[in-house]
């Protein structure tokens, strides 16, 4: 359940910080764990949400922000498109449940991306529906930013996804 996950997430990150010397290694591990979750979670999402096929990157970003975040984290995000090509989006979270029990991060691990698991989940789920994407944190409330912002860059144009048979 969401509550159990949120309660134990901090312990997971703390253990990873003990296991790895560099924050970058912790970030990579969180991303990999999230990716593994995302490739499995997409089946549950598609079965439980009964959503229709998204026809654009914009629809996909809205689906993640409005439906998936609500279903699994209990929050919704706002979406803004940040490129003229229409392949870069920001998901802006006013409230991030993963940080509910975090008082503050130590000043020492400045490069630690505490919620990097979310980036991996999104990337893994998108890959399973044949949408290659780069997902990164752009802003983080834990680092003093006003909001939590996750950037999604779709790596191929929509017409690239169509496969031609030879």
> Considering Cα of 69, then 142, then 120, then 33, what sign does the dihedral take?
negative
Q: Count the domains in the chain.
A: 1
Q: Classify the C-alpha dihedral 79-83-84-85 as positive or negative.
A: negative
Tokens of 166: 């030879």
**Ordered per-residue pLDDT tens for the chain, 166 residues:** 677 888 889 889 989 989 998 999 999 999 999 999 999 999 999 999 988 888 999 999 999 999 999 999 889 999 998 788 889 999 999 888 888 777 666 666 578 898 999 999 999 999 999 999 999 999 988 888 888 999 999 997 545 445 544 4
Evaluate whether residue 106 is within a structural domain.
yes
Tokens 């560099």 found at:
22
> What are phi and psi for residue 71, nearest 5 degrees?
-65, -40
Q: What CATH number is given to the structural domain containing 61? A: 3.30.1380.20
Assigned domain for 105 exists: yes
Instruction: Report pLDDT for 102.
Output: 75
Element (H, E) at 124: helix 116-128
Strands (E), 58-114: 78-81, 88-93
User: Considering the entire predicted model, what is its pTM?
Assistant: 0.87
Distances in Å between the Cα of 100 and the Cα atoms of 6, 7, 103, 144, 165 are: 8, 9, 8, 15, 50
Element (H, E) at 136: strand 133-139
Is 163 domain-assigned? no
In a domain, 19, yes or no: yes
Tell whether 36 is covered by a domain.
Answer: yes
Q: By three-state DSSP, how is residue 116 classified? A: helix
For residue 117 the two structure tokens come to 């698991």
Domain of 109, in residue numbers: 2-154
Q: Is residue 61 part of a domain?
A: yes
Domain-embedded: residue 98: yes
Q: Is residue 161 part of a domain?
A: no
Residue 154: partners with Cβ closer than 8 Å, 6 or more residues away: 57, 60, 87, 88, 131, 132, 133
């Amino acid at each position: 359940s969401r509550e159990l996950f949120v309660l134990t997430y901090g312990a997971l990150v703390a253990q990873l910080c003990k296991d790895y010397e560099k924050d970058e290694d912790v970030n990579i591990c969180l991303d990999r764990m999230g990716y593994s979750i995302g490739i499995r979670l997409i089946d549950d999402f598609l079965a439980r949400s009964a959503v229709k096929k998204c026809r654009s990157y914009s629809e996909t970003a809205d689906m993640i922000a409005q439906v998936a975040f609500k279903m699994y984290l209990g929050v919704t995000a706002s979406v803004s498109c940040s490129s003229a090509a229409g392949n870069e989006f920001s998901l802006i979270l006013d409230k991030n449940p993963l940080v509910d029990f975090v008082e503050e991060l130590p000043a020492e691990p400045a490069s630690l991306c505490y919620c990097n698991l979310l980036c991996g989940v999104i990337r893994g789920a998108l890959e399973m529906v044949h949408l290659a994407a780069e997902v990164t944190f752009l802003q983080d409330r834990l680092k003093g930013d006003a909001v939590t912002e996750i950037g999604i860059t779709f790596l191929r144009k929509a017409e690239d996804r169509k496969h031609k048979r030879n």
